[in-house]
Amino acid sequence: MVTGVARDDFEVIAVPRRTIARTAVLTAVFSLVPVLGALLWLTWPTGRWPAVLWVADVAVVVGLLMYWRFRVSYAGVSSTEFFKRGWLPGSVRLPRDAVATVLVARTYRGASTETLPQLIALGHDGEVLFRMRGGYWPDEAITAVTDALGSAVTTVSRPMSGAEFYRTWPESRSWYEGRRWLSTTLVVVAFAVATGLLALVWQAFTG
């Protein structure tokens, strides 16, 4: 918690999509349980299965910390200020009257017909103050924050591709968005690390 910031301080509270947590939990369960079962079966004859449970405990603790971070994420609007804390470290806290314009657009990916809302708050000099992504915040959360801020609202009439959105408002893009090379690199690195860890665990348990 940021000092001096509590949910009770805000008149309007918006929370992330709950389906994100449910999907993450189900993915983790269906991905890790078979691996855990296989490792226990392989290490049971050697008597080293407690180490497998120790690794599983660490994974559960990490997962619970990530879930806790998600649960404490919210956006709040009071009579004097705006506050937003997402899943990643860091938060946004600024006076409510610092927001001059709220821009609302809808974006899509590729040939998909599904669109997601995007909220961008602009200051009096036109600078981007913060953004709320539709992939993380549901439509009702973005609508609630837009209404609660009470600033001038500009709505983009037609849906935009993600690339067009980033070209139009490049300052709103997070460091991890719209960069396929970065996503590919992270996936490759994560796969390599996971493979290396599994190899080390296997060697330690069966060697």
Read out DSSP for 115-151?
A: -EEEEEEE-TTS-EEEEEETTTS-HHHHHHHHHHH--
Q: What is the pLDDT of residue 110?
A: 75
Average pLDDT, stretch 42-46? Answer: 80
pLDDT tens for 106-142 read 999 877 778 999 999 999 998 999 999 988 999 999 9
Within the chain, residue ranges assigned H as helices are: 18-43, 49-71, 139-149, 162-168, 180-206
Q: Which whole number is the average pLDDT over 157-166?
A: 89
pTM here is 0.73
Backbone angles phi, psi at 145, to 5 degrees: -65, -40
| Whole-number percent of the chain with pLDDT over 70 | 81
> Cβ distance 76 to 83 under 8 Å?
yes
Long-range Cβ contact pairs of 119-122 (< 8 A, separation 24 or more) = 119/145, 119/146, 120/169, 120/172, 121/82, 121/149, 121/151
Query: Residue 151 pLDDT more than 70?
Result: yes
Query: Looking at residue 194, what is its pLDDT?
Result: 64
Q: Of 30-44, 124-138, 155-169, which gets the smallest average pLDDT? A: 30-44
Amino acid 159: pLDDT: 93
Q: From CA 99, how far away is CA 50, in angstroms rounded?
A: 55
DSSP annotation of 161 reads E
* Res 76: pLDDT: 94
Position 1 confidence tier, pLDDT thresholds 50, 70, 90: very low
Mean pLDDT of 4-30: 82
Q: What is the pLDDT of residues 62-109, one digit of tens each?
A: 888 888 888 889 999 998 999 999 877 778 999 999 999 999 999 998
**In which band, very low, low, confident or very high, does the pLDDT at 2 lie, cut at 50, 70 and 90?**
very low
Banded pLDDT at 60 (limits 50, 70, 90)? confident
> Counting Cβ atoms within 10 Å, is residue 80 exposed (0-12), middle (13-18) or buried (19+)?
exposed
pLDDT score for 203: 66
Average pLDDT across the chain, whole number: 82
